[in-house]
Amino acid sequence: MTEPLLSVQLIVRNEELLLPFCLASIKGIADEIVVVDTGSTDRTVELALSYGARVYAANWTDDFAYARNIGLDRTEAKWILCLDADEVLAAGADSLRGTLQTTSAEAFWVTIDNVLGRLPEERLQHRMVRLFRNRPERRFRQRLHEQILPAILERSGQDTIAPSNLKLTHLGYFHEIKDQTDKQARNERILAAMLAETPDDPFALYNWGVAKAHGGDQEQALQAMMTARSLAPPAIAYRPGLVRDIARLLLAMERPNEAGLLLAEESGNYPDYPDLHYLLGEAYRAQGLLPEALQALRQAAACPSDSALYPVEAGCATFRAQTLIGDTLTKLGQLEEAKSAYEQALASHAAYKPATLGWAASLEALRIPGTVIAERLLLLVRDLPSGLLLFAEAMLHIGHYRELLNALDDAAKHPQEPALTQHLAYAHLHLGHPDKAIEQLRPLLESDQTGTILETVRLLALAAWSGGAAIKDEWLWVLPHDERRHLLNIERRLWQRAQPAASDQQEDVRSWIDRAVRAGLLEVAKQLAGSDAALRPYTARCLYRAGYVHLASGLLLNLLEEERLDGDAAADLAELLYDRGHYGEAAPLFELAVPAASDRARIGAALSYLHNARSVLHDALYHHPDSPLLRGDLHKTTASLELLGKLDWHTPWTPAQRRNADVRTPNFLVHDRER
């Protein structure tokens, strides 16, 4: 009997959803399929047998390496390819057997493409040794995230491991699949046992940190990962990924200074690792160090985009880096250069939404006419999947509603996606055409998607209310009973707006005020708010954050006079006063807002006091122009203002929202009588 060339091996438990895709992908390349089942109660075993697999039952002992080694003990094949049930072989199958018959290598690196979401950019790629010669001394180690690599390195060395063109697509991190099984408790249990035996094992500490981060315990996660970093040998394969994960955790914890120090040190150890340079750019941006951020991001963009040595997030050397370069250049006022950076990002990934929005905003800032922007955007995205939807989102982002509708006149009649129809309806609402919005939305009521119907009816309600009409019965009857009752309660409030909202209705009324403001339906927002004093701070916030600065200022100043400012409203008013150069008035309001809007308020207060100090120093220098002490203090104050001013502390407005700044009607301080 001929010795089999390749054994494909899996360990499984209740994998009926994805196992067929995995087994179908290896059809024709394996001489045998060995499946170790650790206690399935679904159709997993039946499905494996139907694909010709040999299935071995094994008790689960909280040890993945033990289960893997059961499979290794049950094959005579020359080569082993280990897969997980949630992986498919996506590339390299055609040449695999020929390679195995002629190679002198002991093992091969296999690229694993982890799918994290539905979008093309939601990918993380890394490599592992999954394909290796079958030798009796080679057995897996580690109870969790089992490894064959240490056994290969001990006997054969690094030079015997060759690259390959094999690529696996891993679906297990995709949130819609991951949420079906709760592995968190199991992983923590196994890791706790590993650390009880070897408390200084850096690999176990690293994975303990990852588990704690997934569980939301960031402090414990950071402590474990930092300890792992201090213990991990410099040349160990997982160390670069460990550094990356520590930096990501520090940034998530809003500790960019520590992340920057870590990355500035470690990026020198891995100069061709784009993710570290990219994260360093993020850390510098968060500290307002924009020139340093540009340098780091350009280093990321200069790295190989297909680096096989490290776990790499899609785009860190291409479209993500170029988009963040564009954002940084925009902040520095270098608009032409920013536009070029966005164009480089789109050349790499034409459907990357942040780059598309940034590019459209840069064209708007360069005063390119809206019709020309629409033509260029359509040329860019027309042939992309969901390209018209991306076009609509970009045009809404920059506030060119009429140009959007004109450009999609034909598409508007037969749109391909419900979201596109809803975007076009939003454009009609912003232009004051509720009847056209209703006409656009009605066909969506026949959708079989609950989320689509609910959002459609909400838009229809806003359109009807903005025209002074009530919700139509046929719109209501497509909703579940609770949603129908909720909508009628809001409409009743709309027509009886002089009455304060009950405490249990406050949140619902607020959400509808926000929807109305975002759709540009300010009269509807005003009617919903009515004369209810409890809703006025929130209404002012909605107006301010949607860019209606003039309207918000009236409400905020009135709240100040009545001593009804809450923390968020105080921060908004302080910011408004700051933008108008009233630094003395802004500073105490920022201080008042610190408990509610901490970083924003602290930075705003510091900037206000620095502006006041600079004004005092200018006055002093007028009287004492030759004072080196005053000139030195003025230089330091100006430098501090420049640095703090580069931080992302101010309320961000899209180009569309900036267009709202001078809107002056309606007056939210004057209330009509009840209808």
DSSP characters over 327-342:
HHHHHTT-HHHHHHHH
Residue 475 has pLDDT above 50, yes or no: yes
Q: Which of these three, 147, 180, 213, is where a domain ends?
A: 180
Ranges 156-165, 481-490, 605-614: which has the least confidence: 481-490
Query: For residue 79, what are the β-bridge partners?
Result: 6, 133
Per-residue pLDDT, 191:
95
| Mean per-residue pLDDT, 556-566 | 91
- Please give the structure tokens belonging to residue 491: 């409409």
Query: Residue 575 CB: number of other CB atoms within 10 A?
Result: 24
CB distance 71 to 89 below 8 Å: no
Cα 670 off chain centre by? 41
Q: Any idea which of 79-83, 110-114, 449-453 has the lowest mean pLDDT? A: 449-453
**Helix or strand or coil: residue 80?**
strand
* Mean pLDDT, range 104-126, rounded to an integer: 94
User: Can you give the pLDDT at residue 309?
Assistant: 83
Which amino acid appears at position 462 of this protein?
A: L
Cα dihedral value 65, 67, 70, 72, nearest 10: -50
Residue 413: the pLDDT is 56
In a domain, 646, yes or no: yes
Tell me if 482 is assigned to some domain. Answer: no
Say what the pLDDT of residue 2 is. 77
pLDDT confidence tier of residue 1, bands split at 50, 70 and 90 = low
> If DSSP codes are grouped into helix, strand and coil, which group holds residue 279?
helix
Mean pLDDT (whole number) for 590-600: 87
Q: What CATH number is given to the structural domain containing 58? A: 3.90.550.10
For residue 588, is pLDDT > 90?
yes
Tell me whether residue 320 is in a domain. no
Element (H, E) at 636: helix 628-645
- Other C-beta atoms closer than 10 Å to the C-beta of 274 total 27
Q: What is the model's pLDDT at position 534? A: 87
pLDDT score for 180: 47
Element (H, E) at 470: none
3-state secondary structure of 124: strand
Read off the amino acid at residue 538: Y
Residue 333, CA distances (Å) to 368, 637, 666 in order: 16, 22, 34
> Is residue 673 over pLDDT 60?
no
What's the full length of the chain, in residues? 675
Residue 637 resides in a domain? yes
DSSP alpha helices (H): ranges in 267-369? 274-286, 290-302, 319-331, 335-348, 353-365
pTM: 0.91
Q: Retrieve residue 582's tokens.
A: 């009233």
User: pLDDT digits over 378-401, tens only?
Assistant: 999 988 988 999 999 999 999 999
Report how many domains make up the chain. Answer: 2
Supply the pLDDT for residue 178. 53
Return d(Cα 323, Cα 321) in angstroms, integer: 5
DSSP category for residue 414? S
Instruction: Identify the domain boundary among 180, 215, 244.
Output: 180
pLDDT for residue 533 is more than 90: no
515-528 pLDDT tens trace: 999 999 999 999 99
Looking at per-residue pLDDT, the higher value among 512 and 416 belongs to 512
Burial of 225 (0-12, 13-18, 19+ CB in 10 A): buried
Query: Where among 160, 180, 200 does a domain terminate?
Result: 180
**CA neighbor of 405 nearest in space, from 435, 437, 376, 379:** 437
Whether residue 21 contacts residue 92, with contact meaning beta carbons closer than 8 Å, is answered with no
* DSSP conformation class of 400: -
First to last CA, the chain: 92
Q: For residues 10 and 8, what is the distance between their CA atoms, to the nearest angstrom?
A: 7
pLDDT the model gives residue 497: 59
pLDDT at position 32 over 90 = yes
- Contact between residue 96 and residue 282 where contact means Cβ atoms under 8 Å apart: no
Does residue 43 lie within any of the structural domains?
yes
Residue 174 has pLDDT above 90, yes or no: no
Instruction: Tell me the mean pLDDT in the region 626-655.
Output: 93
Using the predicted structure, report yes or no on whether residue 42 has a pLDDT greater than 70.
Answer: yes
Question: Does residue 10 contact residue 84 with C-beta atoms inside 8 Å?
Answer: yes
42-51, 122-131, 239-248, 445-454: range with lowest mean pLDDT: 445-454
The first and second tokens of residue 257, run together, are 């200074």
Residue 352 covered by a domain? no
* Position 490 in a domain: no
pLDDT at 675 over 50: no
**By percentage, how much of the chain surpasses pLDDT 90?**
81
Q: Which domain holds residue 539?
A: 526-658
**Chain segment 272-307, per-residue pLDDT in tens:** 999 999 999 999 999 999 999 999 999 999 998 877
Please give the average per-residue pLDDT across 423-439, as a whole number: 95
Domain assignment present for 129: yes
Cα Rg of the chain (Å, integer): 30
* Residue 582 belongs to domain with CATH number: 1.25.40
Contact between 1 and 25 under an 8 Å Cβ cutoff? The reply is no
Maximum C-alpha span of the chain: 103
Q: Phi and psi for 162 in degrees, rounded to 5?
A: -110, 155
